[in-house]
Structure 1
Amino acid sequence: MKRNRIWVKIVTFAAMTAAVASLAACKGTDDSEKVYLDEIKTKDYIKLGEYKGLEITQTDTEVTDEMRDSYINYLLSLNPEEGVKEGDTVNIDYAGMLDGVAFEGGTAAGANLTIGSGQFIPGFEEALVGAKVGETRDIDLTFPEDYHAEDLAGKAVVFTVTVNTIMAATPQELTDEYVQGLGLECSTVAEYQKYVYDMMYEEQEMANVAKAESSLASAIVEKSEFIKEPPVAMLERYETTLTENLTYEAANYGMDLNNFMQLYYGMDAATYPQEIKNQALNSAKQYIALKAIADAEDLNISDEELQEKIEQMASEANYDSVEEFKEKVNAAAYKEYMMGEKVLDMLYENAVITQG
């Protein structure tokens, strides 16, 4: 079963490659300037402890009919073809302009709004009825004369609104005809329910394995002795990776990084940079430990293995040539990722796992 592992919070390979590439020029003779694992001798950094037969608990995989039906209802409600209707909840980006200038409190990204709730000034919500996902509308409105902000009361403004998602108040009906229109290898409601169940089960199982492997990675660090801290440039690479990926995730939710970290992690701009540094240090130590095991167990990735994987990814991504794909991928970073997967597979296979 293919699995994607996350060594540090919300890291993706796309963000990793961008971060590593930006630091490639940092390599030098000073050990503190080493960026990649292949540039260091792991024995200079770590004295490995026990790493086989580690005891961990793995969450049981369970998908109930209620969980399946709830997810199907979510899909049936998401982004209806007919667009926004009264009672639907939309996620929108909007920018309000007074005489061509943005006014205070008139701009937001990723805002949720139930149409008909009266949350916005008269005419705003009504103007979104019929809008489709991805559509942008300019809405000419006038603030009420008794509006609480005197500088806006009675003023004509223009709101530019983009609809990101729509959640219909009433889901579509789940029928065989609906299922047949999905383009899946299903033709009946029963077959679709089984398809969704199997998908949810596999995703949950993958998540449980990834969580167990994260525990293994943490355990080998705890059982090992670090002789010295990871190289400065390597830590900078992970910090950049985390920051860029968190910024990317924030943008997906229509937020900037500060708001995203406050809402989802309860950290403000004064505290989250230090948490990123802490996570970067932890990630670097885990990778050094994994590399040390790879050295001891002959689990390093050969150039031939890396080339074969790159060729496979280039083909799957429909690139015209492998060389074109290589320009988009940082091979050194991906080689580390492959090594980590290989080592964690071995650790997982040799672990003592209790289901719970």
Structure 2
Amino acid sequence: MKKKLFSVLLVGALAASLVACGKTEKKEAKASTANTEINAEEYAGTITSNAGVYKTFVNLSDWKGMSVDLKESDYVVLDSDVEDYIKSMLESKATTNVITEGTTKAGDVIKLDYSGKLDGTAFSGGTATDVTYTIGSGKFIEDLDKGLVGLTVGQETDITCVFPESYYNSDLAGKTTVFTVTVNEIDESVVPELTDEWVAANAASLGIEDSSVTTVEQLRTYVRSYLETQASSSRSSAIFDAAYKQMSDGLDVSDYPSEELTDLINTLNSNVDAEYQSYSSSYSSKEEYLKSAYKFDSLDAFNEYADNYAKQYLLQKMIVTMIAADNNITVTADDINSTGEELASYYGYDDYNDILDTYGKTMNSEIGYQVLYQKIVDFVCENVTVNDTTDTAE
């Protein structure tokens, strides 16, 4: 099944987004930097032309050789990290042993029926059947949670509970109630043993594409390599973020390319509108949805956020593009097509041409910038000094 490809500006990293910008008819005195329908081969030319426009709005000072602080120990993969990751793999393949006798204890996952009564009368929300609950999780009120310890499976038990004074339902706050509870089963998780046979049988289903991984030691080697790749990527991002903060703090931005800024703001609104339409039956208005899902006090608060966020995103794009142009860093058609094929595979499209047929050749601009951003992250990391702040006494 195809997954919809649309901008993740609201939730993703500023410059790693796929921004589905539309075209507008607005004209600018300067050449437009807004994304347009282009072939992959044409993207490289937009880097230089866009940088020329961006330089009329902001002047980037010399940044090469700046130093950034980084706690290098945060990006070292330990043996314990490898074992924890393998443990999570094993747990993902755990089976459930259903126990229908015995007594419950803290930490057990149980299935139960319960019925709560206040002064002998059932109250709203106090009755449920076949509920899965982990004893000690604290998701029930304290008295009920504690009262589930030591119960006999299959036996009906009354548990007297006092609701907290601060309970959100004022009809129950501070009141004494009785819950009639029956634990129907204890669900015991059975984690498989780590063996060569288990690795050989489960590697493919765990997403390990290397068919040569068939033993425990090979799995450990694979996991370490994977975690080190992730750590290296996180380290690069941290270095770039620290360097970018120095580049952008106090930077005098005279203005922003108006058409591109408008497109970005429209994209944010389009994303939220699409989300709201998916859940509109649960909300009386878009404003109510924004309050519930994103904690915005009003539409005006969201609009202010959209404007500020789009400017932050665009400033970073301006700086990234200027660095690329000044240092002859470019993006080839092969770069774009290769990344496009990866996205097609991830999102369930036949190939990159399927994406282009669906969303248009604007995607060449958007994927091109995604590739360019990562190249600039690597370039900046190579041209700054990193000061290790790891405490050697640790």
Using structure 1 for the length normalisation, give the TM-score. Answer: 0.59
Where does residue 317 of structure 2 map in the other structure? 287
Which protein is bigger by CA-based radius of gyration?
A: 2
Where does residue 352 of structure 1 map in the other structure? 385
Query: Closer, same or farther in 2 for the Cα pair 1:288/1:303, shift >3 Å?
Result: same
Where does residue 232 of structure 2 map in the other structure? 205
- Aligned-residue offset at 1:168: 6.5
Q: 2:84 aligns with which of 70, 76, 96?
A: 70
- Aligned-residue offset at 1:233: 1.0
Q: How does 1:18-167 map to 2 (within 5 A)?
A: 20-21=19-20, 23-30=21-28, 35-36=34-35, 38=46, 41-60=53-72, 61-78=75-92, 80-82=94-96, 113-114=133-134
Counterpart Cα distance in 2 of 1:56 and 1:246: 39
- Aligned-residue offset at 1:288: 0.7
- Aligned-residue offset at 1:234: 4.5
Residue aligned with 2:387, SS: strand
- Aligned-residue offset at 1:206: 1.5
Q: How does 1:183-332 map to 2 (within 5 A)?
A: 183=203, 184=208, 185-222=212-249, 224-231=251-258, 232-236=261-265, 239-240=268-269, 268-270=295-297, 273=302, 277-302=307-332, 305-307=335-337, 309-310=339-340, 320=350, 322-328=352-358, 330-332=363-365
- Aligned-residue offset at 1:283: 1.9
- Aligned-residue offset at 1:213: 1.6
Gaps of 5+ in 1: 1-6, 91-102, 123-143, 154-166, 248-255, 262-267
Counterpart Cα distance in 2 of 1:311 and 1:82: 39
Where does residue 178 of structure 1 map in the other structure? 198
- Aligned-residue offset at 1:24: 0.8
User: What one-letter code is carried by the residue in structure 2 that aligns with 1:73?
Assistant: K
Contact 1:180 1:187 in 2 (8 A): yes
- Aligned-residue offset at 1:352: 1.5
Contact 1:28 1:34 in 2 (8 A): no
Query: Closer, same or farther in 2 for the Cα pair 1:321/1:198, shift >3 Å?
Result: closer
Query: Closer, same or farther in 2 for the Cα pair 1:239/1:215, shift >3 Å?
Result: farther
Contact 1:89 1:115 in 2 (8 A): yes
- Aligned-residue offset at 1:186: 3.2
User: What one-letter code is carried by the residue in structure 1 that aligns with 2:77?
Assistant: V
Residue aligned with 2:224, SS: helix
Contact 1:246 1:257 in 2 (8 A): no
Query: Closer, same or farther in 2 for the Cα pair 1:191/1:246, shift >3 Å?
Result: farther
Counterpart Cα distance in 2 of 1:258 and 1:283: 23
Q: Which deviations, in whole Å up to 9, do the C-alpha atoms of 1:61-91 show, x marking residues without a partner?
A: 222233333333233223524487786669x
Counterpart Cα distance in 2 of 1:11 and 1:245: 17
Counterpart Cα distance in 2 of 1:328 and 1:280: 25
Using structure 2 for the length normalisation, give the TM-score. Answer: 0.54
Contact 2:97 2:190 in 1 (8 A): no
- Aligned-residue offset at 1:9: 7.7
Q: Which deviations, in whole Å up to 9, do the C-alpha atoms of 1:305-348 show, x marking residues without a partner?
A: 53565467658988545432323562221122222222232222
Counterpart Cα distance in 1 of 2:334 and 2:199: 44
Residue aligned with 1:336, SS: helix
Residue aligned with 2:23, SS: helix
Q: Which deviations, in whole Å up to 9, do the C-alpha atoms of 1:25-60 show, x marking residues without a partner?
A: 335213698634958511221111112222123332
Where does residue 166 of structure 2 map in the other structure? none
User: What one-letter code is carried by the residue in structure 2 that aligns with 1:181?
Assistant: A
Contact 2:71 2:388 in 1 (8 A): yes
- Count residues in correspondence: 285
Contact 2:17 2:370 in 1 (8 A): no
Gaps of 5+ in 2: 1-7, 37-45, 111-123, 145-158, 164-168, 172-176, 178-186, 277-288, 390-394
Q: Which deviations, in whole Å up to 9, do the C-alpha atoms of 1:247-275 show, x marking residues without a partner?
A: 9xxxxxxxx976675xxxxxx33398455
Cα RMSD (Å) of the superposition? 5.0
